[in-house]
Amino acid sequence: MKLTCPKCAQAFETDGKAAEAVCPGCGAAMPLPALAETIAQRPGVSAPLPTAVVSETIGLEPAAKETGTPRHFARYEIIREIGRGAFGIVYRARDPQLGRDVALKVLIAGEQASESLIKRFHAEAQAAAKLRHPNIVPIHDVGIHDGKHYFTADFIEGATLEKLLKEKLPTTQIVRLMTEIASAIQHAHEHGIVHRDIKPGNVLIDASGRAMVTDFGLARNVEVESSLTRSGDVVGTPAYMSPEQAAGRVAEVEERSDVYALGVLLYEMLTGHPPFQSNSLVALLRAVIEDEPVSPRTLNPKADRDLETICLKCLEKEKARRYRTAAALVEDLNGGGGGADCGAGSGLRPLRAPRSLRRGVGTGGG
């Protein structure tokens, strides 16, 4: 099956057997068959898809840019499209009842959505709705309008981490952002939720600079056996996948898979790009599974040495060698050195300790 990515316009092929197709260029995930059919069955339609075409698939007209007149969906007034995720289109909308703007996410395939796609869409809403944490975007309303599935969340005024990473970040900001993101993921884990798609595009930065984790579209509820993902499916965004995800070993995907993805985020903050990159999806997945990452300080000699050690521990191929929990990662980020409570056992040097006290201290893994 030939597809064209609606985000970056790169053409690629997929066998159509998995639930999603993943663009080898930008890593965007696209649900199948919904989006693939939307593109393939429209003669003359090329990607990136115009807003009006994509909106048509869910029965919404975009807000008129010329007049600023919003369209309505349920009780919400659509202001403009702000993004597209794995399963839905996200709009900035006005909730007249609450008197505030919200992020409205509508299932991209509308009434033609498959049962599995609908289940995944609601799984995202249900996963996020059970989480209440200052660094997780909260979910509010979940429902169906004219046969179209949707939910609403806080509208975050700001940008994504992806945009922020275009700039070189100081060590203090890296530590703060990683602490906030990892704390949010730890909270999700404590509630039985594995995110499975941690990446810069799924982290929002609000007006105060706070990191907010969003998009639980591929989240797995470990408390409930899920039939939404078949063994052998590759789920996530390739450059941020753990080796077990890249290999399609679905049964092995758990909390430490998210820890790996947190390591990829940290690597990108230190070097400006993920540890593995390729124009070929097959080559990228193989690198994630088999290759060792280049040490961050080789690429950026100014990168903090302790953050490099923490990062490489997250990126271990063997799960047993990574941090056992995101809380253990937070502990080391904040100079705890991997105490017994967090279970890291890393022996890392405290980030905030005077350098005179760090000399000669080991950085053993395990």
Out of 141, 197, 304, 306, the active site residue is 197
The pLDDT of 230-255, averaged and rounded, is 81
Tokens standing for residue 14: 């997929």
Give dist(CA 287, CA 277) in Å, integer: 8
Domain boundaries, the chain: 1-49, 50-127+137-155, 158-358
pLDDT band at residue 24, thresholds of 50, 70 and 90?
low
pLDDT the model gives residue 216: 78
CB atoms within 10 A of CB 147: 11
Give dist(CA 182, CA 264) in Å, integer: 12
Higher per-residue pLDDT: 142 or 212: 212
DSSP 136: B
pLDDT band at residue 3, thresholds of 50, 70 and 90?
low
Q: Are 215 and 153 in contact (CB under 8 A)?
A: no
* Distance, first Cα to last Cα, the chain: 44
DSSP 62: P
β-strands 139-145, 148-154 pairing: antiparallel
- 309 φ, ψ (degrees, to nearest 5): -65, -45
pLDDT the model gives residue 75: 94
Give dist(CA 261, CA 267) in Å, integer: 10
Return the amino acid letter for 24.
P
Q: Which of 309, 356, 348 is nearest to 332 (CA)?
A: 348
- Is 114 strand, coil or helix? coil
pLDDT the model gives residue 166: 92
Q: What is the pLDDT of residues 296-344, one digit of tens each?
A: 999 999 999 999 999 999 999 999 999 999 999 999 999 865 443 344 4
Query: Could you check whether 50-127+137-155 and 158-358 share the same CATH topology?
Result: no
The pLDDT of 349-354, averaged and rounded, is 43
Q: Which CATH number describes the domain made up of 50-127+137-155?
A: 3.30.200.20
Return the amino acid letter for 129.
A
Place of tokens 């753990």: 242
pLDDT band at residue 71, thresholds of 50, 70 and 90?
confident
pLDDT band at residue 360, thresholds of 50, 70 and 90?
very low
Higher per-residue pLDDT: 35 or 168: 168
pLDDT at 68 over 50: no
Place of tokens 């409570």: 341
Give dist(CA 47, CA 26) in Å, integer: 14
pLDDT at 354 over 70: no
Q: For the whole prediction, is pTM greater than 0.75? A: no
Beta carbons within 8 Å of 9's beta carbon, 6+ residues apart: 46, 47, 48
Q: Is 146 a catalytic residue?
A: no
**Alpha carbon 33 to its chain's center:** 21
Give dist(CA 237, CA 305) in Å, integer: 28
DSSP 301: T
Question: Using CB atoms within 10 A of its CB, is residue 52 exposed (0-12), middle (13-18) or buried (19+)?
Answer: exposed
pLDDT at 32 over 60: no
pLDDT band at residue 17, thresholds of 50, 70 and 90?
low
pLDDT the model gives residue 41: 38
Biggest distance spanned by C-alpha atoms of the chain: 68
Give dist(CA 205, CA 343) in Å, integer: 30
Place of tokens 């609601």: 122
Which segment, 221-225, 277-281, 362-366, is predicted with the most confidence on average?
277-281
Higher per-residue pLDDT: 106 or 327: 327
pLDDT at 63 over 90: no
DSSP of 10-31: -EEE--S-SSEEE-TTT--EEE
Record: fold of 158-358: Transferase(Phosphotransferase); domain 1 (1.10.510)
Burial annotation 205-241 (CB, 10 A radius, 16+ → b, else e): beeeeebbbbbbbbbbbeeeeeeebeeeebbbbbbbb
Give dist(CA 307, CA 266) in Å, integer: 8
Q: What is the pLDDT of residues 123-166, one digit of tens each?
A: 777 777 889 999 999 988 888 898 888 989 999 998 999 999 99
pLDDT band at residue 30, thresholds of 50, 70 and 90?
low
